[in-house]
Chain A
Amino acid sequence: MTEKITIGVAGAGTMGTGIAIVAARGGFPTLLFDLDPARVEAALGQMRAFFGKSVQRGKLTQAEVDEILSRVRGTSTLDDMAACGLVIEAIFEELDAKGQLFSALNGVCPPETLFASNTSTLSITEIAARSGRDDRFVGMHFCLPAQLMKLVEMSPGLNTSDESFARAWALCEAMGQRPVKTQDAPGFILNAFLVPFNNDAIRLVEQGVAEPAEIDAAIKGALGYAMGPMELLDLVGLDTQVLLCEALHGVTHEPRAACPPLLRRMVAARRLGRKTQRGFLDYQTSAIFGA
């Protein structure tokens, strides 16, 4: 039987909010922490809106949603995290910031509390080393949007105990997620493949091999992918792809992970993808944007 602990989520951004939805929907008392009270309030509002749509679509009843939301609390007080049996961190991708957060949590949480990082590119072992409890530290990389995607990449650090990893794995499954085990390697599985693949697609545009829409048509038509690489890049945001390149290339020095010059030019020109209505494809006129 799975332990019923309070799950803490540190960081009330898009990812943290999604993870809090998963934890609460999985039946766990959930505490969403962010230093900025306004972000906490905004996240709680987004959670209510998400579950409101679940009711509208007939996936949950209002009574079920009321029960789920009754398990959720927000806080901007770190000391409140002492109630958590598992804390999943989902703040920005910066080793120092994550290390400082976990170090502070280590002084607040009881010894049995497990720590997890949702990092997509940083080393679990390196973050764990700054936490003061590297034997009770795991990687739990949720996919975006966390509230809709079942997959969680789980990685032990070099000093993670087998027992801690097994406990975290069981909790992940109890939240209704599908964990897969990967090594603590840069980008784990998803980003290790996706970032270079998308860069390769950008380079095809850069080198005049094909227009973005033709690349998407080829990949979708030949391989049955739901979305082509250019559409996906526009959805993720080209500025985000730059950050992913810098993080992955910075630790691997793999040439395919290096940021293509065209990507930097597009970010400089504020062609960031869907969020600016113009990236590799143009979302105002649906016309094709060429390199």
Chain B
Amino acid sequence: MSHPAPSHRVIASGTSRSFPIAHPLLEAAGETGIVVLLLGPGAGRAFAALADKARYTAILIELGTECLGVHTGESRGEEGANVLGFARFRLGEAPPSDLVEIVRQPKTTPEAIAAARALFTGHGLKTAVCADFPGRIIDRLVRPYYNAALGKLDAGLATADDMDLTLRLGLGYPEGPIALLERTGLAAHHDVTSALHEALGDPAYAPARRAQVAKARQLKGA
């Protein structure tokens, strides 16, 4: 059973990737609340400037590809209090999905996690909680898969259509990887997977050749 959404306020610092347009969660925000939502690329700075941090049940910082610890600091695996990170999963410039990844630290309080979940689910969103690692859950899983699909297309494993069809019919995926990357932007995939490659050092995240070409064309203004 889901809990009612807690009261919340929003502090926006630039355009949010998670909430780029009107959303019931934003419309329901008040002047005060037991949860504060820090949105936009300046969310980390807004957190640093936030007064009376302890008075909130949960402080939610919108994340890009960075870890929450960049904003909160880390200490011997004992970090964590009432501060969480979050991001609505979004591929490139496609609209945000309804899934919010909530980032916790080792000592994040259960009350803060419960409040974060209740806030998002109370406004029609879904949640998944994860620890503070680069790529969180979804990017960590899908970026190597997308890179492999692009690589196997180059290697001639099958045509793009047959590869997509196989994964749709064989695994019930709503969309094959090649069509999905075309729809959401290969250059955007390049940016995310490059950030993960740098953070994790795992060759599986190194951008595939087709993503590199798309990024080069974007930089060229093509």
Contacts and interface: CB of A to CB of B under 8 A. Distances in A.
A and B held together in a complex: yes
A61 to B, nearest CB: 27
A227 interface: yes
Given A182-B157, A256-B144, A210 B166 contact: no
Contact of B158 (A182, A196, A227): A182
Interface stretch (B170-178, B186-194, B212-220): B170-178
A200 to B, nearest CB: 5
A38 interface: no
B126 A217 contact: yes
Interface in A214-269: 214-215, 217-219, 221-227, 229, 255-256
Contacts of A193: 145, 148-149, 167
Interface stretch (B3-11, B32-40, B55-63, B97-105): B97-105
B31 to A, nearest CB: 31
B163 A189 contact: yes
A218 B174 contact: no
Contacts of B130: 209-210, 214, 218
Contacts of A151: 165-166, 169-170
B142 to A, nearest CB: 7
Contact of B128 (A181, A185, A210, A225): A210
A192 interface: yes
Given A193-B145, A200-B144, A218-B138, A210 B169 contact: no
Given A150-B169, A218-B128, A255-B204, A180 B137 contact: no
B166 A215 contact: no
Q: Majority SS of interface residues in chain B?
A: mixed
Contacts of A92: none
Nearest to A184: B157
Contacts of B133: 207, 209
Contacts of B89: 218, 221-222
A221 B137 contact: no
Interface in A175-217: 178, 180-183, 185, 188-190, 192-194, 196-197, 200-201, 204, 207-211, 214-215, 217
A153 interface: yes
Contact of A218 (B137, B144, B148): B137
A251 B88 CA distance: 38
B195 interface: no
Contacts of A215: 128, 137, 141
Given A189-B167, A197-B145, A208 B157 contact: no
Given A193-B149, A210-B129, A185 B157 contact: yes
Contact of B137 (A143, A196, A197, A210): A210
Contacts of B128: 210, 214-215, 217-218, 221
A225 B99 CA distance: 12
A197 B138 CA distance: 11
A223 B94 CA distance: 12
Contact of B165 (A180, A192, A214, A227): A180
Q: Which 4 interchain pairs have the tightest Cβ spacing?
A: A221-B99, A218-B128, A222-B99, A221-B126
Interface of A: 143, 149-151, 153, 178, 180-183, 185, 188-190, 192-194, 196-197, 200-201, 204, 207-211, 214-215, 217-219, 221-227, 229, 255-256
Interface of B: 89, 97-99, 101, 126-131, 133, 136-138, 140-142, 144-145, 148-149, 152, 155-159, 162-163, 165-167, 169-175, 204
